Structure 1
Amino acid sequence: MIELKQLTKKYGTKKKSTTALSEIDLQVGKGEIFGVIGHSGAGKSTLIRCINLLERPTSGEVWVNGVNLTALGKGDLQKHRRKIGMIFQHFNLLSSATVYDNIAFPLTLTNTPKADIKKKVSDLLALVGLEDHKNKYPAQLSGGQKQRVGIARALASDPDVLLCDEATSALDPQTTDSILRLLLDINKKFNLTIMLITHEMHVIQSVCDRVAVIHAGGIVEEGPVTEVFLKPKHQVTREFINRETTGADALKLALSTTNSESSKQVKITFLGAQTYDSLLSQIVRETGVNFAILQGTISTIKDMPYGQLLVSFEGEASNINRTITLLKERNLDVEVMN
């Protein structure tokens, strides 16, 4: 659905330029929710604006739904842009227009008949839960309601792709969760491809199927969210994940004080139904190894439950090794920390 080929964006002149994006290759499948996470200045906003050519790449190609947008003339590009919806961090609503007129705005630009506009806007108001607010102005709405208007407006032209530029970063946590649930609902109802950028790992963890981590204008890590979140390879990815977890200093202290010849510290990752099984207790009863939990988490990645335990096994080395082997045989991911 979206394919970026060697995408590069530079600002400035040939003599003095700044590279915002460097030779990025990326693919997003039909119906997928794809996240791009990065720190401020990493290039993520430039990346998403290059997809609909609000920013024209210096080199490389942008393909959307089988069409090379970078090869189109102005008229054809405008036509294909209508199939790419976009929602913004600060909503970008027309302050002097009602909710109804804000949502209708893209349709009025294409001379859509009034009866069709009325039907479409009514359907979208129901979808985003704003039927009772259609005659209000943006100043009368909360932040979450404004973003719902922005989402409805982005959907007015029946896009194939929805781009979300930091769509929840101006919202409080509870409102953020409600907007993320709405995006999930839209994705499921319409099989709509959604690409979102964010600096919040919680957003990625809640709704995305796959994620790319951007740093200094390049993609440093990419893959399924479960894989990237649970087995981060790049330091930048680890920083984002560590911000979402607690007790990092206490964990370092625990690891430093539990190290001995008769103990071994191990991180065990549970995924899916195994998260709620008693596999660990079953296996240590069989091997006779004692254990202490140093840190533990149970949560979800999108709809997938997962758990991570950092444990200290104590006992004879052979029994500890057998415990680790049995855990691996149960298809658990086991990482020895020392």
Structure 2
Amino acid sequence: MIELKNLTKVYGSKSRATTALSGLNLTVDKGEIFGVIGHSGAGKSTLIRCINLLERPTGGEVWVGGRNLTSLGKRELQLERRRIGMIFQHFNLLSSATVYDNIAFPLRLAGTDRTKLKSKVEELLSLVGLEAHSGKYPSQLSGGQKQRVGIARALASDPDVLLCDEATSALDPQTTDSILKLLLDINRKLGLTILLITHEMHVIQSICDRVAVIHEGGIVEQGPVAEVFLKPKHEVTKEFISRDVAGGDAPEVRIAGAAASSGRQAAETAALPYTGGAVFRITCLGENTYGTALSEVVLSTGVHFAILQGTVSTIKEVPYSQLTVSFTGAKEAVELAVAKLRERDFDVEVLG
């Protein structure tokens, strides 16, 4: 659906040239939610603006829906842009226009007749949950409501692709979660391809199917979110995960997913002492996350264990756990415990 081929963007020239993107290659499949994460200055915003050619690349090609946008003339490009919606960090709403008129704005530009325009705006108001706010002005709305208007406006032309430029970074955590849920619902209801950029791993973890990590203008790691999230390879990826998810304060056990499942809102944390023994990282993705397999294996083999650090949470509504565990006992018993865990589809990595 989206394919970037050897994408390059250079600002300035000669001795004052700054390379924002350097030979970047990326593919986003139709209907998926793809996240790009990176620090400020890594090239995220330049990347997303190159996709709809708000920034024209210095080199390379941008393909959307089978068409090479970088080869199109001005008129053809304008038509193709209607298939690409975009929402922004700071909403970019018309302050003197009502919610209704903000959503109707691109339809009026396209010459949509009044009856069809009214029907479409009402449909979008319902989709984003703003039916009761259609006559209000942006100054009367909360940040989350403003972003819902921005989403509805971006969907007015029935795009195939929705680009999200740090769409939740100006919002508080609770509002962020509600916007992410809305984007996930839109993706499922409309089959819309969504590409979002962010500096928050929580955003990636919540709704994305795949993720790419951008650093110094290039992609340093990419893949399915669970794979990148649970087995990061690049130091930048590890830094994001440590900061945004694990908190970077080991040894610690974070039971966010378990706490939520038992009705508690806050994550429950507890530090456990290291008692010696072989150390393993045990990862589980799916229904076994909340099961008793670990305790059953330990009891059946006579091995003692201590959880040194761990997380229980979800990746796009799929539960997972990742625990750093110390096993003590006879060598044969520890090896048997590891073998039994692997038989039950746990990924067990020897750390020391």
State the TM-score, normalizing by the size of structure 1: 0.96
Asked if 1 retains the 8 angstrom alpha-carbon contact of 2:278 and 2:328, the reply is yes
Shift of 1:250: 3.7
Partner of 1:203 in structure 2?
A: 203
| CA distance in 2: counterparts of 1:250 and 1:135, whole angstroms | 51
Query: Any idea what SS the aligned residue of 1:56 has?
Result: coil
What secondary structure is seen at the aligned counterpart in 1 of 2:279?
strand
Structure-1 residue corresponding to 2:261? none
1:216 is the counterpart of 2:216: yes
1:268 — aligned with what? 282
Aligned residue for 1:245, secondary structure, equals helix
Mean Cα deviation higher: 238-247 or 205-214:
238-247
Do 2:250 and 2:309's aligned partners in 1 also have CA atoms closer than 8 Å? Answer: no
Match of 1:287 among 272, 285, 301: 301
1:328 counterpart letter in structure 2: R
CA-to-aligned-CA distance 1:78-102 (integer Å, 9 cap, x gap): 0000110000000000111111110
Kindly indicate whether residue 128 of structure 2 is the aligned counterpart of residue 128 of structure 1. Answer: yes
1:145-294 equivalent positions in 2, closer than 5 A: 145-246=145-246, 248-251=248-251, 258=274, 260=276, 263-294=277-308
Distance of 1:103 and 1:230 partners within structure 2: 40
- CA deviation string 1:186-205 (max 9, x = no partner): 00000000000000000000
CA contact (8 A) 2:305 2:326 kept: yes
d(CA) in 2 for partners of 1:244 and 1:25? 26
* Partner in structure 1 of residue 324 of structure 2: 310
Supply the distance in 1 between the matched residues of 2:301 and 2:22 (Cα, whole angstroms): 52
The answer for the alignment partner of 2:64 in structure 1 is 64
Amino acid at match of 1:205: Q
Contact 2:63 2:69 in 1 (8 A): yes
Which sections of structure 2, spanning at least 5 residues, go unmatched?
A: 253-269
Cα distance in 1 between the residues matched to 2:16 and 2:147 = 39
Letter in 1 for 2:151: I
Whole-angstrom CA distance in 1 between matches of 2:132 and 2:333: 65
Q: Contact 2:41–2:216 at 8 Å: present in 1 too?
A: yes
Residues 1:327 and 2:341 are matched in the alignment = yes
Q: Tell whether the 8 Å contact from 2:202 to 2:245 is kept in structure 1 after alignment.
A: no
Q: Secondary structure at the match of 2:135?
A: coil
Task: Evaluate the alpha carbon distance shift between residue 282 and residue 158 of structure 1 in structure 2; reply closer, same or farther with a 3 A threshold.
Answer: same
- Give me the identity figure in percent: 71
Q: Matched residues in 2 for 1:83 and 1:15: separation?
A: 38
State whether structure 2 residue 10 is matched by structure 1 residue 10. Answer: yes
Q: CA deviation at 1:244?
A: 2.4
* Counterpart amino acid of residue 152 in structure 1: A
In structure 1, runs of 5+ residues without a counterpart are none
8 Å CA contact 2:201–2:245 kept in 1: the answer is no
Structure 2 contact 30–193 (Cα < 8 Å) conserved: yes
**2:81, 2:247 → 1: CA distance?**
46
Q: How many residues align?
A: 334
1:37 aligns to what?
Answer: 37
For residues 247 and 92 of structure 1, do their structure 2 counterparts lie closer, same or farther at Cα, with a shift above 3 Å needed?
Answer: closer
Quick one: distance in 1 between partners of 2:246 and 2:24?
33
CA–CA distance in structure 2, aligned partners of residues 137 and 325 of structure 1? 62
Distance in 2, matches of 1:119 and 1:38, equals: 39
* Residues 57-84 of structure 1: per-residue CA shift (max 9 Å, x gap): 0000000000000000000000000110
The one-letter amino acid paired with 2:282 is: I
Amino acid at match of 1:110: A
Q: Distance in 2 between matches of 1:248 and 1:335?
A: 20
Give per-residue Cα distances to partners, 1:170-198, cap 9 Å, x unaligned.
00001000100100110000000000000
- C-alpha separation in 1, matches of 2:31 and 2:248: 36
How far off is 1:298 after superposition? 1.4
d(CA) in 1 for partners of 2:250 and 2:60?
Answer: 46
Residue 148 to residue 249, structure 1, CA distance change in 2 (3 Å)? closer
Rounded to whole Å, the distance in 2 between the matches of 1:231 and 1:307 is: 12
How far apart, in 2, do the equivalents of 1:127 and 1:33 lie? 19
1:80 equivalent to 2:58? Answer no
Q: What CA RMSD, in Å, does the superposition of the two structures yield over aligned residues?
A: 1.6
Letter of the 1:5 counterpart: K
